[in-house]
Structure 1
Amino acid sequence: MSTLAAARADNFYYPPEWDPSKGGLNKFQGQHPLRERAKKLDQGILVIRFEMPFNVWCNGCGHLIGKGVRFNAEKKQIGNYFSTKIWSFSMTAPCCSEHIEVQTDPKNHEYIVVAGARRKAETYTAQDAETHELPDSEEAQAKDDPFSKLERRVEDSRRGREGADRLSELLEDSEAKTKDDYSINKALRRQLRGARKEEKRRDEQRKQLGLPDAVRLLPASGADAEAAALVSFGDASAFANNRKHRRQAIKDQPIFSGQAAMAGGQQRVDWGQATNQLSEGA
């Protein structure tokens, strides 16, 4: 961008026919400082950038307009709630050119969709939204009520006395348990010795089973014993007898098939006869 174009873009360009007696540039050019945004300012309307405060459904086409979508909205005052102004924001839907109007509600600290759309019904808890719930008007008034303060003070005193009694009981119980340090230490060492012996016994059992060092045997439990008792691998003697009979049947069968065995036997008979005839001729 050239220097002249940059100056015009930043509104710092002063034409040759201008002089300070004619006032500022906007007055000299006969325009408002807000340019096109203030074209309806005589009607009390100012064009601003407006963000949709919540999700809404367009009445024209049913399109969902998400929270935070920005519009060029016409802002105007339509009334007052005590000393607070009530504003109206009029805009055009981007999906079907439907006219949408949103107003402020100072009484309920909310926005209201007046025309062109309807608010999407969404329910959530303060925990889901990761926020804190504000107390309602009754709770706020109760906090300022002297009688409510007195009732809460009495309730807090009662809870304090109950908590002090419970704390005293816990301290006495703790002192009774830790009074004889020698006996407690002795019982603890006895328990640790038993645990080390049991671990050593399981390690020897692991070595007898031929398991690697990375495998650690756990203490036996009744549930594991019951589950192991339900597992059945069959009769070992029956399996051995069956295998023996099958091996014997395989040994008794000929190596060749039936026809081949018969042909081989006939060939041996013919060869034996031929051998006998040659012997007799000699």
Structure 2
Amino acid sequence: MSSLAAARADNFYYPPEWTPKQGSLNKFHGQHALRERARKIDQGILIIRFEMPFNIWCGGCNSMIAKGVRFNAEKKQVGNYYSTKIWSFTMKSACCKHEIVIQTDPKNCEYVIISGAQRKTEDFDIEDAETFELPADEERGKLADPFYRLEHQEKDMKKKKEAEPVLVRLQRVSDARHSDDYALNKALRGRLRQQKKRVAEEEKVSRKMGLGIRLLPASAEDATAAARVKFTSKFEKNKKEKRAAITAAPIFSKRLDSFSTKKRQELEFKRRRIMAGAASNLLAGGFKPSSWSLS
């Protein structure tokens, strides 16, 4: 059922009673190809989606209708400007259902409001809008005269200097809009890959040196700072004296002294233990302590 409904909605469903002699499906069903949009086609009117070309004030409730708001408008031809057709668009505002009529103006390449609304007047300062005032047609004709250009050259140069910051800013905006994002991204990724490779090499060198941190590559500033460091003569003198004392001292003297002291203590302990054992044996044999003495 879902596929059948989709076929009917798309006007692709041919009922069993249809024959090719009856023509198209629209002719068979007695309807126009545009369906409801063409319900007034006999009057030369077609329903379209019309977009408001500028800000207007509604004539019924005085509400503002912004530029770009869309309406279901009745489009019909009301005249010709040479070979160009003049179209009229009739619509109803959403705020109060007031009828608004707008026509095309091929002569001025513009839209004009016929009835039901009033165009909102919007004036902008040239500096605030960051635009330039173009010369009038009469002045452009005068600019073709070299003497007129020479008279106004100084004034034009002054205007150029005043407008130069605006031109630079507009140029930057234009460059940003038309910049190649792929090329910029590619260059950035290339720099990041080179940086990662350099960091990995520096960490490898640091590990070979037995360091746990990565050393930055030496620079000319580091070499200059190291050359400025000078040790005092007192430090060198103390260093030499300590080195001479270490060289002159015997290597095994302290070790032999400690070994002889330990040996003497062990021998004294054995001698006292032997004498204590002999004394206990004599006492067990019936000898009195007063008859002998330890020497």
Instruction: State the TM-score, normalizing by the size of structure 2.
Output: 0.46
